[in-house]
Amino acid sequence: MKLRIIAAASIVMVLFAFPGCSWIRKVTYPPSFTYLEKSEITSSMMQMADSIGRIDSILISTETPSGKQRERIIADLKKIDSIATALGAGTQRTNHLLIDEHIDEFRLAVMRAKQDVSNNPPRYYHVGGLIGNCMSCHVLR
């Protein structure tokens, strides 16, 4: 009898130990809350860093980007905005307070940069500011 109780308890613990964390979060957090896994944050930040790096290398390599380079910059800015939105923009709250505090401001900077690059003639001032903001926030990371 005692062995059955121990076996049942062990099975329950195994069932809840691995997939249980996500199940527990669904029950304990409100539907408007988004739990961001560390791996998801790292992956998203790396994707945005890749885009920022491409944009930065284009702007460093030439005084006036070509039409193709300009389109590449716009595509990267759209990708950054999409990733930032998925990380919790607007009224969405997450378990990452630093992201919650700054994501809307960051998205606004991305949209401003995208709008400037899309203008005729294109301007790259806000793109440079966006790159600088990323570097200054992540200098210690």
Q: What is the pLDDT of residues 61-103, one digit of tens each?
A: 988 899 999 999 999 999 999 999 888 766 677 777 787 888 8
Residue 19 has pLDDT above 90, yes or no: no
Say whether 33 sits in a helix, a strand or coil.
Answer: strand
pTM: 0.76
Q: What is the pLDDT of residues 109-139, one digit of tens each?
A: 999 999 999 999 999 999 999 998 888 777 7
Q: What is the largest CA-CA distance in the chain?
A: 81
Q: What is the pLDDT of residues 5-16, one digit of tens each?
A: 665 555 555 555
Written out in words, the top-level CATH class of the domain with range 36-138 is mainly alpha
Structure-token match 């121990």, residue found: 6
Residue 18 has pLDDT above 80, yes or no: no
Say whether 86 sits in a helix, a strand or coil.
Answer: helix
Enumerate the domain spans of the chain. 1-31, 36-138
